[in-house]
């Protein structure tokens, strides 16, 4: 069997998920190299992944490693430059969201993809590969809810991980809560509504951890969007989910409604005791979307080996990032921001 040889760049919270999938769970992929700028990442690659070809310089990995493709899971501000370097070096590219943290960067990434039409490029909007989200899309396309006219989203990271997210906000480079956390819902709104956003109105608040504000970010955000076809989007994002990692999406149509993960159950078990009926909830994005991260990487490997392009394109990356920029600008200025 022909295998795709992949080098992973970034071995942090999500890089380790992708690296482990490539190393152990995808038969037609081989993790042959890794690049990380932290010492613990080097040890992890060698000891846990069994990858001995480890770099601390991304350009060196591209130049020297025995790889056909890269998986970019580094800080968001570096993605677009790393996409261009990898494509110009002849590699297929999988890149995590958000594609970039400014529009000029995204346009440069588009140009790099257009320079290399024979190489596969995929952006990591894994929710499209989650079984429930994909099922909702099939139902909508089959007309099950009539004309979809409203997408309502909630995405809350768990309060138990707030210290990590404060550190993340202070480090900068994530684009802030709207781009970092809201980007998945922005992509889903476009996908389900089949239309592009034309204006955004956002606001934010911080009630529990002032450190978010001090870092120039916010703890909670709300955005409403108008779309070109008249449809609407409502998004609530936050860093202090009291019960765990809460991701919920509702698509409202003229003939029906689809709800996904209204209660983010860990499993189907319920505990009946003096507190009532308790259902444990998932506690992290790694837990909730484990299958989706695997499915999207399987699709990337299959596309690269088969000379195909996946359903998520570089233009999806730019469009959703534009929605994120508009939300950030509206949050800063308080006004409605048009999306050109
Ligand atoms: N799809 C999702 O659900 C999802 C979830 C979490 C994070 N992400 C995205 O994944 C990316 C990484 O996030 P994270 O939470 O894993 O971050 P993290 O801070 O935990 O890890 C970042 C890693 O990148 C490495 N790194 C930084 N610069 C590098 C370089 N030039 N070359 C090689 N390695 C480099 C660091 O050593 C570290 O290992 C971000 O863009 C984030 O938005 C996506």
Q: Which of 8, 9, 12, 59 to mutate to test the pocket of ligand 1 (most atoms within 8 A of CB)?
A: 12
The closest-lying atom of ligand 1 relative to the alpha carbon of residue 285 is 3
Instruction: Name the residue at shortest CA distance from atom 25 of ligand 1.
Output: 10
Q: What is the mean pLDDT of residues 263-271?
A: 90
pLDDT bucket at 240, cuts 50 / 70 / 90: very high
The closest-lying atom of ligand 1 relative to the alpha carbon of residue 124 is 1
Ligand 1, residues at Cβ distance < 6 Å: 9-15, 35-38, 41, 58, 73-76, 78, 96-97, 124, 126, 180, 285
Whether residue 19 is predicted with pLDDT greater than 80 in this model: the reply is yes
Whether residue 102 is predicted with pLDDT greater than 90 in this model: the reply is no
pLDDT bucket at 175, cuts 50 / 70 / 90: confident
Q: Which of 41, 82, 96 to mutate to test the pocket of ligand 1 (most atoms within 8 A of CB)?
A: 96
**Which one is predicted more confidently, 91 or 263?**
91
| Count of CB atoms situated within 10 Å of the CB of 206 | 16
pLDDT for 257: 98
Structural domain count, the chain: 2
Whether residue 38 is predicted with pLDDT greater than 90 in this model: the reply is no
pLDDT for 101: 86
Q: What is the mean pLDDT of residues 24-53?
A: 95
Q: What is the mean pLDDT of residues 209-228?
A: 97
Domain identity same for 81 and 180: no
- CA 117 – CA 308 distance, rounded (Å): 10
State the CATH number of the domain containing residue 92. 3.40.50.720
| Residue 73: domain span | 4-126+292-313
Instruction: Name the residue at shortest CA distance from atom 19 of ligand 1.
Output: 12
Map the chain to HEC letters. Answer: CCCEEEEEECCCCCHHHHHHHHHHHCCCEEEEEEECCCHHHHHHHHHCCCCCCEECCHHHHHHHCCCCEEEECCCHHHHHHHHHHHHHCCCEEEECCCCCCCHHHHHHHHHHHHHCCCCCEEECCHHHHCHHHHHHHHHHHCCCCCCEEEEEEEEEEEHHHHHHHHHHHHHCCCCHHHHHCCHHHHHHHHHHHCCCEEEEEEEEECCCCCHHHHCCCCCEEEEEEEECCCCEEEEEEEEEECCCCEEEEEEEECCCEEEECCCCECCCCCEEECCEEECCECCCHHHHCHHHHHHHHHHHHHHHHHCCCCCCCHHHHHHHHHHHHHHHHHHHHCCCEECC
Domain identity same for 187 and 81: no
Ligand 1 geometric centre to CA of 75 (Å): 5
Whether residue 325 is predicted with pLDDT greater than 90 in this model: the reply is yes
Domain identity same for 161 and 305: no
Domain identity same for 277 and 331: yes
Confirm if 72 and 86 have CB atoms less than 8 A apart: yes
Domain identity same for 224 and 259: yes
Q: Which two tokens stand for residue 289?
A: 């979307």
Model's pTM, two decimal places? 0.95
Confirm if 90 and 119 have CB atoms less than 8 A apart: yes
% of the chain exceeding 70 in pLDDT: 100
Ligand 1 geometric centre to CA of 130 (Å): 21
Domain identity same for 299 and 334: no
Whether residue 174 is predicted with pLDDT greater than 90 in this model: the reply is no
The closest-lying atom of ligand 1 relative to the alpha carbon of residue 57 is 32
pLDDT bucket at 288, cuts 50 / 70 / 90: very high
Whether residue 173 is predicted with pLDDT greater than 80 in this model: the reply is no
The closest-lying atom of ligand 1 relative to the alpha carbon of residue 175 is 43
The closest-lying atom of ligand 1 relative to the alpha carbon of residue 293 is 1
Q: What is the mean pLDDT of residues 149-176?
A: 92
State the CATH number of the domain containing residue 171. 3.30.360.10
Instruction: Name the residue at shortest CA distance from atom 6 of ligand 1.
Output: 14
Domain identity same for 86 and 114: yes
- For the chain, the average pLDDT equals 96
pLDDT bucket at 235, cuts 50 / 70 / 90: very high
Domain identity same for 257 and 141: yes
Domain identity same for 47 and 76: yes
Domain identity same for 172 and 305: no
Domain identity same for 113 and 148: no
pLDDT for 129: 98
pLDDT for 40: 86
Domain identity same for 181 and 324: yes
């Amino acid at each position: 069997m022909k295998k795709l040889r992949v080098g992973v760049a970034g071995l942090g919270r999500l890089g380790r998920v992708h690296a482990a999938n490539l190393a152990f769970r995808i038969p037609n992929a081989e993790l042959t190299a890794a690049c990380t700028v932290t010492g613990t990442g080097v040890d992890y690659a060698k000891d846990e992944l069994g990858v001995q070809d480890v770099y601390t310089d991304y350009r060196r990995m591209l130049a020297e490693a025995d790889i056909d493709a890269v998986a970019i899971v580094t800080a968001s501000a570096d993605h677009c430059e790393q996409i261009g370097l990898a494509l110009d070096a002849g590699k297929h590219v999988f890149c995590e969201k958000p594609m970039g943290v400014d529009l000029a960067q995204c346009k440069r990434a588009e140009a790099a993809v257009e320079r290399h039409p024979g190489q596969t490029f995929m952006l990591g909007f894994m929710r499209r590969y989650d079984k429930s989200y994909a099922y909702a899309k099939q139902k909508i396309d089959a007309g099950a809810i009539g004309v979809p006219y409203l997408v309502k989203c909630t995405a809350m990271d768990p309060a138990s991980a707030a210290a990590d997210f404060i550190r993340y906000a202070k480090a900068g480079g994530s684009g802030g809560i709207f781009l970092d956390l809201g980007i998945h819902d922005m992509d889903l709104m476009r996908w389900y509504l089949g239309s592009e956003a034309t204006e955004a109105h956002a606001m934010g608040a911080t009630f529990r951890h002032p450190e978010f504000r001090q870092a120039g970010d916010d703890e909670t955000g709300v955005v409403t969007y108008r779309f070109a076809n008249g449809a609407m989007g409502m998004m609530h994002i936050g860093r202090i989910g009291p019960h765990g990692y809460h991701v919920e999406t509702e698509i409202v149509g003229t003939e029906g409604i689809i709800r996904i993960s209204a209660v983010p159950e860990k499993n189907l078990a319920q505990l009946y005791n003096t507190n009532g009926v308790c259902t444990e909830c998932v506690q992290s994005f790694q837990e909730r979307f484990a299958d989706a991260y695997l499915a999207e990487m399987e699709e990337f490997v299959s596309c690269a080996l088969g000379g195909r392009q996946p359903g998520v394109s570089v233009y999806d990356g730019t469009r959703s990032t534009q929605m994120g920029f508009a939300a950030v600008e509206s949050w800063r200025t308080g006004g409605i921001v048009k999306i050109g």
